[in-house]
Amino acid sequence: MAYEDLSNEIIADVGGKDNVVSVVHCTTRLRFKLKDMKKANDDKLKATDGVISVVKSGGQYQVVIGNNVADVYDTLVKVGGFSGGGSISATAADNSNMSLADRFIDLISGIFNPLLGAMCAGGMIKGFNAMFLAFGWLSATSGTYVILNAIGDSLFYFLPIILGISSAKKFGINTYLGATLGAALCYPSIVAMTGSKTALYTVFKGTFLEAPVHMTFLGIPVISMNYTSSVIPIIIAVWFASKVQKVARKIVPDVVKTFLVPFIVLLITVPVTFLVIGPVATWLGNGVAEIVSAIYNFSPVIAGILMGAFWQVFVIFGVHWGFVAVMMTNIAAMGFDPIIGLSFAASFAQTGVVLAMIFQTKDEKTRSLAIPAFVSGIFGVTEPAIYGLTLPRKKPFILSCIASAVGGGLIGLFGTKTYIMAGMGIFAIPCAMGKNGIDMGVYGLMIGMAAAIILGFILQMLLGKKSVDENLAEQTAGSAATNSSADSAAVKPEASSNKEEKLVAPLTGQVVPLSQVKDEVFSSGSMGKGIAIKPKDGQVCSPLDGEVVMVFPTGHAIGLKSNSGAEVMIHIGMDTVELDGKGFTTLVKKDQKVKKGEPLINFDLEAVKKAGFETATPVVVTNSNNYHEVNAVANGTITIGDALLDLK
């Protein structure tokens, strides 16, 4: 059953969209607040494929999905048109356990995810239109070319507006405010002014910070930069706007908040973006370009390796515009530019990795994104590949940078130069054709491109397969399971597929049969076989040698996978998710290796009791059907490290 079908059935059986006040999800279940629980069809929901059970507790109507709850939730929010609060304490989103790089990737991926379909479509149309022009099938002045170009290029040209909307949702401000901020960056008169050959004056003349000033704001010089197609400035601008909005809401009277808060946000954020955010991006780009130019003078090969390796990173941060400025200066002064061509292998490295992912993935959604991303990548449009496929999975992105570095090094070795500003991807080849026509510089460019796409494909096939579906499933489902099918929420592999294993107690306390836990999802064994412990203190330790595969943002639950394949969930108390993380301290992060007895979570046991929540903590083997037997070998009082479960 597809997630869409499952979501539609769940919505219908909880009484329809109009009966839903809100919906979030926790470790295993969708948690609805309904206007009238009597309208929900409990029996039909329990019989639905993909639904494990239904629980009514704490004023919530809980639909138990299991390991795929995050995937089902995402689809349900879209299908139902709900505002979508995400997981409980979603704003934390496990950020406390993320590295700075992981937070950045999570941020960029979250902002770009809603755009991927339109971005893939636009990239393909843009690429094909360039091909039609290159082959002489269309002229640049024909109506057909102009309209196709508008279709393919509009999203990329007005990208700040589109990103303003998705960033606004990510940072919690009004979407129309986000769109307005993006529109200001693309405003025609400002774009035209930045392209003007005349300027009021030039600041920081003679340094890499040199920049023309075409206008001032309250007497302060505005550094010129073309923000169309840019990424980072609008994201930072919306983030800054969210901070301004927070302050404005505190000081503006309620009676005028509707219009006065947006007024303050726009009046402060737009000038700050033009005066500070944009110039910093410009200077950063110019500085990087100057460094690469110096390296090129020392060694074209080293410069090519560095440009190839980091070009996609430059594009993400928007600092690649500095290289465009250097290219235009070099072409005007010398008739050619030796720098920008070093980056031409990058799109092919991305394309090679994406091609491998098409063969590797078992997920239809991933394939449906990868195929058009591959096509558009051939023509140099790699945004769909970067933001939709390689960057969220990290390893494929890194592999593409390695392949691009090799391609860039080869281009530098052959001394390729660019003589004109032309197309991207395969249509960048004419850029290298100067007075000598097709010379070794052109052949070197084609060799570098071919090496990048082939190496990208090989590296991904050899080293990146695991990250294609498994890593994505862990990110989206937040569990030990990697099966992406909604049908499989309650389906387990055949027994005896795992090695025998012994698990030790993760807590000190009193052993309680799982059947006595005051939650039918656990007590019925729906989530798997295991045991429960009523804790005597507030420490949870690892019951196995393996790795952490899920840490819920509120700290009340954790998922582990042993080196032998046992998938274990430890859920501290019942309904403790409602404490919103208060009293819980997570000591480990996702993907971290752990040993038996290693501390995982500290929690305030007395605070849990005082809040009125059940403290019995299930320790459940979620892939119990991989074993013939899951036997409890402990009773009475138990301490951390004592034998607990025997898996055979």
User: Which residues are catalytically annotated?
Assistant: 26, 571
Distance CA 205, CA 555 (A): 54
Contact status, residue 547 vs residue 561, Cβ threshold 8 Å: yes
- The conformation of residue 208, written as its DSSP 8-state character, comes to T
* Cβ count near 97 (within 10 Å): 18
> Mapping DSSP to helix (H, G, I), strand (E, B) and coil, where does residue 321 land?
helix
Beta bridge partners of 529: 621
Element (H or E) spanning 557, and its range? strand 557-562
Give the CA radius of gyration of the chain. 28
CB 161 within 8 A of CB 183: yes
**H helices within 135-256, ranges in order?**
143-157, 159-171, 175-185, 188-194, 232-251
Q: Other C-beta atoms within 10 Å of 551: how many?
A: 24
- Coil, strand or helix at 497: coil
- Point out which residues pair with 510 in neighbouring strands: 534, 637
CA-based nearest residue to 570, from 592, 586, 593: 586
- Helix spans in 420-528 (H): 440-463, 465-477, 520-523
Q: Which two tokens stand for residue 295?
A: 């390296």
3-state secondary structure 333-372: HHCCECCHHHHCCHHHHHHHHHHHHHHHCCCHHHHHHHHH
DSSP summary character for residue 16: -
C-alpha dihedral, 470 to 476 to 477 to 481, nearest 10°: 0
**Measuring CA to CA, how many Å separate 596 from each of 19, 206, 501, 508, 627?**
46, 62, 13, 14, 21
DSSP 8-state symbol, 95: G
Nearest to 48, CA basis, from 17, 82, 3, 80: 3
Task: Write the DSSP symbol of residue 386.
Answer: I
Q: How many CB atoms lie within 10 A of CB 250?
A: 7
> Distance of CA 122 to CAs 56, 307, 351, 552, Å?
46, 26, 16, 37
Helix axes 395-413, 465-477, angle to 10 degrees: 140
Please report where in the chains the tokens 């013939």 appear, as a residue: 628
Tell me if 261 sits within 8 A of 252, measured CB to CB: yes
Token pair 């009340």 in the structure block, residue: 556
Q: By 3-state DSSP, what share of the chain in percent is helix, strand and coil, each rounded to 5?
A: 55, 15, 30
Number of H helices, E strands in the chain: 23, 21
* Angstrom distance (rounded) from CA 360 to CA 122: 25
| Residue 522 near residue 461 (C-beta atoms within 8 A) | no
Which conformational region is residue 122 in: left (phi greater than 0), alpha (psi within -120 to 50 degrees), or beta? alpha
DSSP state, 94?
T
